Amino acid sequence: MNNYAKLVYEGLKKESPWEKEFLQSVFEVFDSLGPLLDSNAKYEKYRILERMAVPERVILFQVPWVDAKGQIQLNRGYRIQFNSAIGPYKGGLRFHPSVNLSILKFLGFEQIFKNSLTTLPMGGGKGGSNFDPKGKSDIEVMNFCQSFMRELQRHIGPDTDVPAGDIGVGAREIGYLYGMYKKIRNAHESVLTGKSLNYGGSLIRPEATGYGNVYFAIEMLKTRRTDFDNRRVMISGSGNVAQYTAWKIINEGGKVITMSDSNGTILCEEGLTHEKLEFIMDLKNVQRKRIKEAAAKFSDLKYFEGQKPWRLAKADAALPSATENELDLKDAEALVKGGCICVSEGANMPTTPDAVEYLLANNVLFGPGKAANAGGVATSGLEMTQNAMRLNWTSEEVDHKLRGIMSCIHSACRDAAEEFGDHDNYVLGANVAGFRKVADAMIELGV
Ligand code: NDP
Ligand code: 2IT
């Protein structure tokens, strides 16, 4: 690592050694920036790394709410307004019991570079709560969301900070959050994305992260003159990102052989059909049940309790789409042994650092999340544009723009990586290309 980057990283580590996920994401970015920092003294002169690694603002608040039994519950609410150099803070909200400052800081930090890569004017932010929507009734989720927004509303706005969904925050939660914002502020404005079509959402936004990841992976595969046709593909997760990744892979002629949730994995050697996937989508989105129920319904699905997909079968490609650090070194070794040629991250930081290193060393095409899953936030940017123009594009128009953006991100990564002599290293490319725009904007904007 470059000396300046090392010094800043060590400082962060000393300050909060318990922020493991945040430090992991900082290390990856700083490690990639070595050659750029070596040849550009201005970044150290303007202390860009220090300024980028400390959020511009952290908001922490209490979220009291009343459950179905009439008892008072209390959760923590957060919004990290990380960097606004190139546009209003933009990034999702995560509702999951594991949420803490380290996780939200890692997600917010990643978001800075991801949003920069989209080429749209969006800064980096992230937020959420340790609230667990699982097992809660719709009314309880509404009570929680309304309380969360009663506080959050004073910190956000269409030109200030525009949240969206992430784990545990989908169309239902966005609806309750937006409804409360509108009541308090008496304004219908583009303050959240991922809205339903009935009140200002964009076509293709639900599909965008998954579709975008497949478009990115297709671009990577093209460089090796191949595609997804007849390829065996492992997907983890069965939420928003995983579902539309699977849908698009099937469209591309690929075989989706796994999906999972936090309890276990289903394996389908023949590949899921759209019909089976529709059943899984209803199971997860409407019935809000566990994925093992799909194996109870279809005899060609096998269920593996407590297992992740990666070591269950051989696959040509893996698209991790559940959560951070879900694909480790042993998983990577099993994937390479099974002939895997491409890993593209639908989730944020799903691959552990040693696994990334192993995949790169074994010539596997590796698409890092900040590039590969940027289609979600890019389409959020397109939702903001449509809201500002007060008109809606067709799904073909949005999909076309999404495809174009993913292709541009792919080229930007390759070009930046090539500049430093390693054209297949998308980690290097994504970090350099994402960083440079934000860093130069910070210098131009003054201290
Ligand atoms: P969802 O809540 O819709 O789905 C999450 C899926 O991941 C579920 O299947 C869930 O299983 C599983 N999961 C969550 N936490 C864990 C865990 N700790 N261990 C094992 N499985 C887990 O979220 P999304 O699909 O929106 O998000 C998935 C990933 O994609 C996240 O990393 C998110 O940050 C990232 N992402 C999302 C974008 C978006 O637009 N939504 C954009 C870019 C990235 P279970 O149901 O059992 O909890
Ligand atoms: O991680 C992500 O990029 C998201 N959860 C989507 C953020 C957004 O603002 O659409």
- Cα–ligand 1 centroid distance for 244 (angstroms): 12
The pLDDT > 90 percentage for the chain reads: 99
pLDDT of 421 > 90? The answer is: no
- In this structure, are residues 277 and 246 in contact, taking their beta carbons and an 8 Å threshold? yes
Residues with CB under 6 Å of ligand 2 are: 90-92, 114, 164, 166, 193, 348, 376-377, 380
Our mutation pick for probing the ligand 2 site, out of 126, 211, 380, 398, counting the most ligand atoms within 8 A of Cβ, is 380
Nearest ligand 2 atom to the CA of 166 is 5
Q: Which ligand has the shortest distance to the CA of 213? A: 1
Instruction: For 108-140, write each residue's pLDDT tens digit.
Output: 999 999 999 999 999 999 999 999 999 999 999
Each residue's pLDDT tens digit, 146-184: 999 999 999 999 999 999 999 999 999 999 999 999 999
What is the model's pTM?
0.98
- Name all domains of the chain by residue range, CATH numbers in brackets: 1-54 (no CATH), 55-188 (3.40.50.10860), 208-372 (3.40.50.720)
Q: What is the pLDDT of residues 11-30, one digit of tens each?
A: 999 999 999 999 999 999 99
Atom from ligand 1 closest to the CA of residue 98: 18
Q: Whose C-alpha lies nearest to ligand 2, atom 10?
A: 377
Counting ligands in written order, the one closest to the CA of 126 is: 2
Annotated catalytic, 183?
A: no
Which residue out of 126, 248, 255, 276 is catalytically annotated?
126
Mean pLDDT calculated for residue range 245-267: 98
Cα of 312 vs centre of ligand 1, distance in Å, is: 20
Question: How far is ligand 1, taken at its centre, from the CA of residue 237, in Å?
Answer: 6
